[in-house]
Amino acid sequence: MKGIKREVWVLGFVSLFNDISTHMVFPLLPLFLTSTLGAGAAALGLIEGIAEFMSKVLKTFSGHASDRTGKLRIYLFSGYLLSVFSRPFYAVASSWVHVLAVRSFDRVGKGIRDPPRDALISHYTSRKYRGRAFGLHRALDTAGAVIGPLLAFAVLGIGLSYRQVFLIALIPGAAAVSFLFLVREKKLKKKKKSLTASLKGLSPSMKWFLTASAVFGAGYTSVAFLVLFLSTELSIQNTLLLYILLNLVYSLSSLPIGFLADRFGLKKTLVAGFALYSAIMAGFAFSPFLAPVFFVLFGVFRSLYDGVSRAYASVLSSAGERGLALGAYETVTGVSGMAASIIFGALWQVFCPAVAFTFSAALAITAAFLLHLRKL
């Protein structure tokens, strides 16, 4: 594929196998928490909020550290190893607190690896092709999110338990780590500025983007809540099948949307993603009978948001600060996302799901206007 180098493909396959492992576990966690461990929506919100917060706050530090040392592979290895080998411990969890601990270790690994990985994709890809490079990576990554639940569905279908699925998830995770040996280090110029000075040196456009991202992140709900919402009306098998369909839509649309983002602009694509998210949340709030449709549309939103937002952060930053900029973006969305998960879970449990979804819709459309108003 024009403009896409070997390293981008290899990193895509690392993410493919890692996501097979992740998504053998993730869609089952809300069901495991509620049906096996007896936890509720508030506990789920706390788990997702704290785990994602730890992941994303670490991304600023790992991004800065990788920029400062000029070495990226060590962060990839340590991050993936920590995530992969933490997941089997879900199998011995006896309370939601244990799930919180394991989920946190998993997300810490993600926090260590993601900024240097995204920086490597940026460094190996010219600006002209960056949308499609991140789109390709998201497509391969999300293909794992299709295959993983399918494997979980098959394993549950032969009579194995949630805990046994969690153990089997180690196998594709180990395959992901093995692919890392094919990633070549790209020697970069070391950055000598301190973290504080580097953050202050981010461009005004990047800082405005971070502000809009914080507003959006404060209303961004975890897919775990959508799975929980569907599971109240559908069987476990049908919920899993819809989750697979969501990720299939996400995977198939990521690369085409990456091409469109390169053609029409990353910012316009991202504004469209924020607006679509707002509409989806409003749909869950006011038309719950169409929840399966909105759930699948969430896959289209993810392709408009996940890879595009990282590509946009990369073009708003210089090459020497790209890891830091990507890490700062993840940290901002992580801090706001922790608040979002806790607030969302509380609104769900104290009032009703419709109130929580309305809250998310309002913040998303506000973020769309903020991003649209300023020329970046």
Residue 339 lies in a domain: yes
In this structure, the number of other CB atoms found within 10 A of the CB of residue 154 comes to 11
pLDDT cut 70: percent of the chain above it: 85
- Within-domain flag for 135: yes
DSSP string, 288-339: GGGHHHHHHHHHHHHHHHHHHHHHHHHHTS-GGGHHHHHHHHHHHHHHHHHH
The total number of structural domains that make up the chain: 1
Do 80 and 74 form a contact (C-beta atoms < 8 A)?
no
The mean predicted confidence, pLDDT, of the chain is: 79
CB 24 within 8 A of CB 169: yes
Closest CA to 114 of 271, 325, 345: 325
* 335 contacts: CB under 8 Å, gap ≥ 6: 53, 56, 57, 214, 217
Predicted pLDDT at 268: 82
CA dist list (Å): 249 to 239, 293, 361: 15, 12, 22
> In this structure, is residue 111 part of a structural domain?
yes
Distances (CA, A) of 40 to 96, 197, 291: 9, 43, 20
Asked whether residue 91 carries a pLDDT value surpassing 80, the answer given is: yes
Q: Is residue 136 part of a domain?
A: yes
In a domain, 302, yes or no: yes
pLDDT value of position 127: 67
Can you state the angle between helices 236-264 and 223-231, rounded to 10 degrees? 140
Q: Specify the pLDDT at position 168.
A: 92
| Contact partners, residue 148, CB within 8 Å, separation at least 6 | 19, 20, 21, 22, 23, 24, 25, 26, 169, 172
187 within a domain of the structure (yes/no): no
Cα distance between residue 10 and residue 133, in whole Å: 12
pLDDT at 71: 65
Cα–Cα distance between 191 and 131 in angstroms, integer? 26
What one-character DSSP code corresponds to residue 234? Answer: S
Give the residue among 119, 134, 364 at the shortest CA–CA distance from 260: 134
Q: How far apart are CA 342 and CA 44, in angstroms?
A: 9
Q: Mapping DSSP to helix (H, G, I), strand (E, B) and coil, where does residue 189 land?
A: coil
* Confidence bin at 242 (pLDDT 50/70/90): confident
Q: How do residues 197-240 score in pLDDT, each as one tens digit? A: 455 657 677 777 788 888 888 888 877 788 888 877 777 777 87
Q: Is the pLDDT of residue 189 over 60?
A: no
pLDDT at 254: 73
Range of the domain at 140: 6-179+198-373
Residue 19 covered by a domain = yes
Residue 190 inside a domain? The answer is no
Q: Where residue 131 sits, what CATH number does that domain have?
A: 1.20.1250.20
CB of 8 within 8 A of CB of 124?
yes
- Assign 368 to helix, strand or coil: helix
- DSSP 8-state code for residue 201: T
